[in-house]
Structure 1
């Protein structure tokens, strides 16, 4: 007996809309500093924070970078809440940037100026070295981050789902995440890892994306520098369980 598939197997990402009435919607994926000074952030040795409220609004509204220090995600200054959350003691909210977000805005987009606690401007080389010291996976994460940004994804931290990133279409205020992203150096370590990652993705109505970061072919164990980042390569693997119901036979 022969069967013919009547439906194409072309992969289509999941784009699930959110309610939009609670937020001021912005679809500009990159901050614009035309006619003004760079945004300013402070790196205290562990965390990168933006303190100025107007900078917080513009950075978050242009690509959903960072999260409110007193919020789960969107800073309170951008939420239209009827009854703001009251804290037991007053704390000024800041915008906390991940290392990848901070480095991308500072080095690649050149819209952010980062100083240390003594108000000294930090160079890209200093931050790159420090971020690698604090997170040994920073190099491969920033390579994957740039790769995803080149495809216009909105990128958020994926810790909640045991991953490196979550990626969204257009804005986190319009769509739910489409992919849970794991950044790896080789194929998934075991079948158990793959099953666990896939179950998490399936239970949250997302797809699973593995990004494998390949170091330069001429890498001889030398220390990675900013100049060598462009020599890295990224390959992607999308994993989705085959759904027999989605296909019909004649």
Structure 2
């Protein structure tokens, strides 16, 4: 399944402005402005100006929040997005409730306390983002993420993403029952997406520190319904009906 473009000219616009370039510009801008985020439950809020608003929208990070403050724009980042900008790109400082900057270790522990599967969700998010895929929540499709080849304004998402990890009680029940797998594949097919399973192997390392991410490995698998029409021989029946 290739990209499904949204309208005439969408492909040319997407290729002229690659995601890797946009994210690099966002990283540079966040560093120059010394931007910081505020922890707010399971999200991180970032106050931004017009330039950062444009870059965050183009890079597909977070969502704008409408507030009564006319002179300030806020963006809400997911935990995976915020940790990616803070830990992996090192361009965002995150402040806790006590108005102190969180170091990587403290931030890691905080996010694990809010989301037990965060080490896996972040590894999956990181894996896709490093390949320059745009990653968005897949909640409306019953999966963890959906992945876009380019900006969602130009193309439909191609993959519905689920992450799994053997031996973890929080994930052990996923797709264990045939009916669950069948329903998920059917749903993905009905919205023209391929189911992408990311099997995360911990390789014997626990999630006590973000350094474990370097030891975790990922195996990618795509699952789709079998279409018998694609596997049949091209048999032509003679006009008289006799083969």
TM-score, with structure 2 as normaliser: 0.79
Which has the larger share of helix?
Answer: 2
- Is 1:160 aligned to residue 156 of structure 2? no
- Is 1:58 aligned to residue 55 of structure 2? yes
The equivalent residue for 1:28 is: 19
The equivalent position to 1:105 in structure 2, one of 85, 88, 100, is 85
Unaligned runs of 5+ in 2: 167-173, 235-243
The equivalent residue for 2:194 is: 207
The equivalent residue for 1:16 is: 4
State how far apart, in whole Å, the 2-side matches of 1:105 and 1:20 are. 33
1:138-193 Cα shifts (integer Å, max 9, x gaps): 00111111111222211111111111100001211111110000111147311111
CA RMSD of aligned residues (A): 2.5
State how far apart, in whole Å, the 2-side matches of 1:169 and 1:223 are. 30
The equivalent residue for 1:7 is: none
CA contact (8 A) 2:149 2:158 kept: yes
1:213 offset after TM fit, Å?
0.9
1:55-75 Cα shifts (integer Å, max 9, x gaps): 2322232x21112235xxxxx
- Say which structure, 1 or 2, has more relative contact order (CA 8 Å, 6+ apart): 1
The equivalent residue for 1:130 is: 110
1:32 offset after TM fit, Å?
3.4
The equivalent residue for 2:95 is: 115
The equivalent residue for 2:178 is: 191
1:91-126 Cα shifts (integer Å, max 9, x gaps): 766211111110001110111111124432211111
1:248 offset after TM fit, Å?
4.6
- Is 1:179 aligned to residue 159 of structure 2? yes
Give the paired residue count. Answer: 215
